[in-house]
């Protein structure tokens, strides 16, 4: 019994050490399964040609663009391993490639017959202290973006739609004292996965000639 209770405790401490946030911390949703879990979405139909994914504008509010730690706490830009738009593009490209909707997906292929243009309005992991007496953090992840699917061959916008999702959790301040930003990144990853699946479903619907709901 003692061994069974010790192992989870040790693992928890190891994770806290790994996720300890400092000026050198670098989070990457695209390559770290602790922060982002790729969906199992699989396309019902496959379409010939390739897709380019491109973030054309970062419209996040200033509070999400911080470069250092300051209250209220956000997973500030200085903690990411790359520019936010590059991380977002890579996650989406991998998700689309795994789903096999197109022959290929590339964030840099300007010759692709299809282009997914993204405007980013929010990409945040936020950590709020509780207003009550309980020593907890209210942690949330928010993704808000607009996508536009373009057929380059036909010089036509196939559809435009805005997507938003939010994930929330409550965590003891003691448990998160060393790594509150990692938990913020995890909630952000959950919101991003939810948005990504919605985008892939709509792209598949539009490519098949169906009507994409605006809701």
Per the CB < 8 A criterion, the answer to whether 141 and 125 are in contact is yes
Instruction: Give 2-207's CATH code, choosing from 3.40.50.10610, 3.90.1150.10, 3.40.50.300, 3.90.1300.10.
Output: 3.40.50.10610
Contact indicator for 39, 196 with CB cutoff of 8 Å: yes
Q: What is the mean pLDDT of the chain?
A: 88
Q: Can you give the C-alpha Rg of the chain in angstroms? A: 19
What band does 192 get if pLDDT is binned at 50, 70 and 90? very high
- Mean pLDDT for the stretch of residues 27-43: 96
> pLDDT digits over 65-102, tens only?
888 887 779 999 999 999 999 999 999 999 999 999 99
Cβ-contact 171, 137 below 8 angstroms: yes
Encode pLDDT of 133-159 as tens digits.
788 999 999 999 999 999 999 999 999
Inter-axis angle of helices 84-99 and 180-207, to 10 degrees? Answer: 50
Out of 2-11, 27-36, 73-82, which region has the weakest mean confidence (pLDDT)? 2-11
The Cα 37–Cα 39 span in angstroms is 6
Q: Would you call 133 helix, strand, or coil by DSSP? A: coil
For the chain, domain boundaries: 2-207
pTM of the predicted structure, to 2 decimals: 0.86
Query: Averaged over 169-197, what is the pLDDT?
Result: 92
Phi, psi of 206 (to 5 degrees): -65, -40
Whether the bond into 90 is cis, omega within 30 of 0: no
pLDDT at 17 over 50: no
């Amino acid at each position: 019994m003692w061994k069974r209770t010790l192992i989870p405790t040790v693992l928890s401490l190891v994770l806290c050490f790994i996720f300890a946030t400092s000026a050198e911390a670098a989070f990457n949703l695209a390559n770290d399964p602790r922060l982002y879990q790729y969906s199992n979405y699989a396309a019902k139909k496959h379409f010939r040609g390739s897709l380019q994914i491109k973030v054309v504008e970062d419209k996040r509010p200033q509070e999400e663009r911080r470069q250092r730690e300051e209250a209220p706490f956000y997973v500030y830009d200085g903690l990411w391993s790359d520019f936010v738009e590059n991380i977002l593009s890579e996650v989406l490209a991998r998700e689309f490639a795994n789903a096999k909707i197109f022959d290929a997906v590339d964030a840099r292929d300007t010759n692709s017959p299809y282009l997914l243009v993204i405007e980013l309005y929010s990409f945040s992991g936020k950590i709020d202290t509780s207003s009550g007496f309980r020593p907890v953090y209210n942690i949330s992840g928010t993704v808000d973006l607009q996508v536009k699917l373009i057929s380059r061959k036909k010089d036509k916008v196939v559809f435009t739609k805005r997507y938003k999702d939010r994930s929330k959790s409550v965590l003891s301040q003691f448990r998160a004292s060393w790594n509150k930003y990692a938990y913020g990144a995890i909630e952000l990853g959950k919101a991003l996965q939810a948005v990504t699946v919605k985008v892939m479903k709509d792209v598949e619907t539009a490519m098949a000639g169906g009507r994409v709901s605006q809701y």
